[in-house]
Structure 1
Amino acid sequence: MYRPRRSTAAAATAVVLATTGGLLAVVAAPASASTGCAAPEFTREVFANTAFSGTPQSTDCDDAVDEDWGRGAPAGLRRNHFGVRWTLTRDFGSGGPFALTASGQDGIRVYLDGERRIDLWKDTRSTVSGTVDLNVPAGEHTLRVDYVNWTGPASVKFAYTPATSPGTDRVTPLAPTGTVSSYDETSGRAGLTWAPNREMDLAGYRVYRRDPGAAEAALVSGPALLTETSFAEELPATGASYAYEVRAVDRAGNESAGSTAAAVTTADRTAPNLTAPIAGHDNWTGVGLEWGSDPDAVSYGVERASSPTGEFTRIATVDTPAYRDATAPYGETSYYRVTAADAAGNTATSPVLEFSRPLAVPHLDGVRSAADGIEVSWTSPANGPDAFRVYRWAGSGTPEPVTCAPALISVPDDPHPRYACTDTTAEVGTAYSYRVHTVDAQGRESEASQTGSTTRADATPPPAVTGLALTGTEYGTVLRWDASPAADLAAYDVYRVLQEYPGMPPTGTPERIATVAPGTTEYADVQVVDDQSWTYYVDAVDVDGNSLAAQGDWAAVAHEEINEYYLYPTWNPGYTYDRTLTVSANTSGQAELEWSCSSGTCEAAGFNVRRWDRATEDWVLVTQRPLSAGTSTWTDPDTLRGTTSHYVVSAVAADGSETYTRWESVATPPA
């Protein structure tokens, strides 16, 4: 057959061909150097010999290897003994299974990348044919078909065809490239283009889109495959960003990976999805409003009016869907609306919410008994009235207003001021209940606060203790006093303070060291330091906690001064700083000793315990033999009673040498 062809100036290259026949023989042979024809066209070279030697008779471009010259020849050659070579280099995309087929008269050889794949090389009087199935790797490859006619009719036909059945072709196509996105703000249409895929068995394309917040992209190009390299669709004008990708599909149904994503950001002409305020409630901080919106909203304007059609005034701009109006007028109806705005300036306004705020209700903070009556305290709501009415009742009686002058007890600028007043007419021993109301300029009274109750207590302290006498002993100071005549006596509190200047009034603050039950008029203080002057106080306390000391009247509290005995040892055996000793008396009056080492362990063969003997002025060993190594406690069964005892502990080394703790003291009253 004859087809128009483009001529090219490509030169021919001589090759030496093997003469052996046989289908699928693989013999290396150089590819043609002709490159003037663009794939999928072949470069065709016609030779006036069967050895493909010398300069081709002609070179042109052929779109297929499909010729039947009968008993003629191409390019004006004489018949018989000529050769034709077709060469093609092209991109096979992802490759995969292909069928190479060849047929004709006379000799035919087919090469892929220089390797012989079909060999029908013989002079024949009938048509010969051959087919080979093979997997072509991805990328660019070169096909070459060599044909010779020795004698007789001349014809040749060759085809390379990809396998397209799903059971045969499992090779995924290459992902499309060159994706470019666009967006038309006027029409709101997004566009996508891409480069043609290089697959030979391409069936079409699918376009996927990943929406904002979505983890995966979804198919948007419909069920039919796209055969063009472009796609467009209209998107909602919300200002959202989308990501597109293209996937190639071959005729076997294999789908490629996605192309590089191409982003599109739409214009924003959509107002936020604002819903009406869904709540309006009053509490200490004002009228609370809440509403629903979508994430596009970046600000909310809150407006208030005194009527549903009146002039609305913006009272706040916030960035969260809630606001508390602390300035809403008490006892009035207010009307609210909210306008949401997004970053592009789109707005949406809610319906109007009506809210009637009641009169300001105070919060009762406390009701307590005071020296001159019962004190009632409360907190006023922000921007509330500063006029109040206090009610009182006893038991199940009827609440009645009580004379009680409020006084501000918080700082003047406190947004929630605190007030207090004292009911001086309350009787001692009577239980009362109280509540507070605010009163506005029109004389309207608010709802009641919480209720608080208490009984006015006796604020008079018991009389001063009499007969206080101090006695110094070896074990401490003994205090004795007369029984208090107070009928409501709860306890005696014992205090002491160091007397820095004997004979002068004490300068420090008395420290309470004991509380003694009624019926007991004696106390022994065994914790004072030797050779120091102390002033002791004994104060009577009633069941309501009243006392002279509680009122700060120390001069009226019974008190006396005394100097503690000097009972210290006259010498110290010496001590090491890394050992400490503590001594205390147990309930049986025995001295309990405990020692430790700052280094973590007391390395010693044993321990000795010594007690100071004032008669001999010496440290007397009171353990019969050294206590075993590792011991850290010991109780003295022979502790002296009615005096102060002093102890030291020594660590005994293997060579018999001793190192001592500091001495410590313990006072034990008589048994």
Structure 2
Amino acid sequence: MTRNRLSALATTAALVASGGLLTATPAAAAVTCASPVWKAEYYANTTLTGTPKLTTCDSVIAENYGTGDPTGVTLPRDNFSVRWSLTRDFGSGGPFTFTAEAQDGIRVSLDGVRKIDLWRNVSVTQRKTVAVTVPAGRHTLRVDYATWTGAANVKFGYTPNTSPATDKVRPLAPVGASLAYDRTLNKVTVKWAANKEMDHAGYRLYRRPATTTTWSRVSSSTALITGTSYVNSPPATGERFLYELRAVDRAGNESPGGADLTVTTVDRTAPAAPTGVTADDGAPGVTLTWQPVAGAAKYHVHRQRTGTTDPVTQVATGVTGTTWTDAGAAERTAYTYWVSAVDAVGNASARTAVTATHDDWTAPAAVKGLTATAHEDGVHLAWTPNTEGDLKRYEVFKATLWDDGEGGTAWVAHRVEYLLPTASSYVHGSAADGETVLYAVIAVDTAHNMLYIPDPAIEWVEVTELGTPAEG
């Protein structure tokens, strides 16, 4: 501080109007300087004793008083002194460089322990630089200066040594961290109090799932966070995540992690798409089968007629197993099916496609109106023609009564003829032995579907064949 600058401060900060004149007022107890600003006390002697003539605040110690009263109104031109003091938080501490220069004397102390002592009357500026290891936490620095005669100047500075080869002290872990989570945007905002380190460079933010112990850095891999907040979007999987903040100094040392902050995210992550999807056609319909999907609570099925512009329609919801049969598929129709996995909160996976054609599995209706009449040339059959458009043929069956010789009997049927689909009558030239038999006519379609014995829908008619005339 030059003499003129200090004089102006004294006028505004420590002088009061009295009887029309400005008079210096001792203000040692009245002035408070917020750390890390220096409190400066000016004495009208070289022993720093008595009541200070002036107390003020200095952001730095860098003064050139010249050859006169530094206040211009309260101190002698020679033989005065100044004491600067401050108490501040040095964070984790570490290696520092103290640099002093003065004409005349200067002494520097840390917590009452002298680190620099150049207390003598000199005619040129004297200088000294020392390396000091400052412990972690709050400490008090004091700089005493005295000038006896001649020119007066003083300068002092303290700076952290940020050489990676020298500074091996990790910063203190960040404190005062808090976390806020926006579920709509799936964004985590972490805020914290600024670190006290003088060589502070920035912060790194880490995250890990609660199920692991491995941290991953979520802030930039190259740049440090320089503010006191950071926004991150965690995986929207419904998992619980932990966040940890670490401070970094200019030597590259990283602090331990601060208090872990926990968040449970919304679940917007769909399961994997089903694999191994197959389609098998059968009488009930097209049956789809797939492999189970991890995290799936159910499955959805969509379909569309292959090669058409029909809309894709959801045909099954809430399928909890890994198979489903489309009983509503139309016969002789090709379909494309899509299967998707759905988790417990409704996230649906990508769809896996498979194609299948549902064939004709429906037998023609039972032949109706069947009659059987015995004639000399055989049994005459007649029936009402079926109306199916895919009719391929009729098959005629005859059943005879079988006796097992032990009192048990059963009807045994066998096919006796194939007929064109246009037929509606038939004469079976059976032996004229007077036996009572059964006849049935069964329709068969082009897909070879037919009713099989002993389907109750088949109509059997009973007839007694004509007997052979007795010889006279």
TM-score, scaled relative to structure 2: 0.61
Q: 1:38 to 1:304 in 2, by over 3 A?
A: closer
2:68 match? 72
Query: Helix, strand or coil for the counterpart of 1:101?
Result: strand
Contact 2:292/2:322 (<8 A) preserved: no
| CA distances 1:374-419 after superposition (whole Å, capped 9, x unpaired) | xxxxxxxxxxxxxxxxxxxxxxxxxxxxx799xxxxxxxxxxxxxx
Q: Which of 108, 111, 115 is residue 110 of structure 1 equivalent to?
A: 108
- Runs of 5+ consecutive residues of structure 1 not aligned to the other structure: 13-32, 360-402, 406-439, 446-671
Q: Which of 167, 174, 177 is residue 175 of structure 2 equivalent to?
A: 177
Question: Residue type of the partner of 1:178?
Answer: G
1:24 match? none
1:351 match? 353
RMSD of aligned C-alpha atoms?
A: 4.1
Q: 1:326 to 1:36 in 2, by over 3 A?
A: same
Contact 1:10/1:35 (<8 A) preserved: no
1:574 match? none
Question: Residue type of the partner of 1:119?
Answer: D
- Aligned counterparts, 1:200-599, within 5 A: 200-210=198-208, 215-222=213-220, 223-235=222-234, 237-275=236-274, 278-279=277-278, 289-291=289-291, 293-295=293-295, 297=296, 299-301=297-299, 313-314=315-316, 317-318=319-320, 322-324=321-323, 338-348=339-349, 349-351=351-353, 354=356, 442-443=451-452
Contact 2:40/2:85 (<8 A) preserved: yes
2:92 match? 94
CA distance in 2, matches of 1:184, 1:37: 41
* Offset at residue 166 of structure 1 (A): 1.1
Q: Which of 123, 126, 129 is residue 124 of structure 2 equivalent to?
A: 126
Q: 1:47 to 1:36 in 2, by over 3 A?
A: same
1:138 match? 136
Contact 1:36/1:43 (<8 A) preserved: yes
Contact 1:302/1:317 (<8 A) preserved: yes
1:50 match? 46
1:60 match? 56
Q: Which of 186, 192, 195 is residue 193 of structure 2 equivalent to?
A: 195
Contact 2:277/2:352 (<8 A) preserved: no
Query: Helix, strand or coil for the counterpart of 1:74?
Result: coil
CA distance in 2, matches of 1:404, 1:80: 143
* Offset at residue 80 of structure 1 (A): 0.9
Question: Residue type of the partner of 2:173?
Answer: A
CA distance in 2, matches of 1:279, 1:444: 33
Q: 1:46 to 1:211 in 2, by over 3 A?
A: same
Q: Which of 141, 165, 168 is residue 166 of structure 2 equivalent to?
A: 168
Q: 1:163 to 1:201 in 2, by over 3 A?
A: same
Q: 1:78 to 1:292 in 2, by over 3 A?
A: same
- Runs of 5+ consecutive residues of structure 2 not aligned to the other structure: 15-24, 362-409, 413-448, 455-472
Q: 1:209 to 1:337 in 2, by over 3 A?
A: same
TM-score, scaled relative to structure 1: 0.44
Question: Residue type of the partner of 2:83?
Answer: R
Q: 1:305 to 1:126 in 2, by over 3 A?
A: closer
Query: Helix, strand or coil for the counterpart of 2:227?
Result: coil
Question: Residue type of the partner of 2:353?
Answer: P
Contact 1:277/1:338 (<8 A) preserved: no
* Offset at residue 71 of structure 1 (A): 0.6
2:421 match? none
CA distance in 2, matches of 1:10, 1:235: 60
CA distance in 1, matches of 2:31, 2:293: 66
* Offset at residue 193 of structure 1 (A): 2.2
2:33 match? 37
Question: Residue type of the partner of 1:442?
Answer: L
CA distance in 1, matches of 2:292, 2:117: 79
* Offset at residue 11 of structure 1 (A): 6.0
Aligned pairs, how many?
Answer: 343
* Offset at residue 111 of structure 1 (A): 1.0
Q: Relative contact order (alpha carbons < 8 A, sep ≥ 6): 1 or 2 greater?
A: 2
Looking at CA atoms only, which structure, 1 or 2, has the larger radius of gyration? Answer: 1
* Offset at residue 260 of structure 1 (A): 2.0
| CA distances 1:636-663 after superposition (whole Å, capped 9, x unpaired) | xxxxxxxxxxxxxxxxxxxxxxxxxxxx
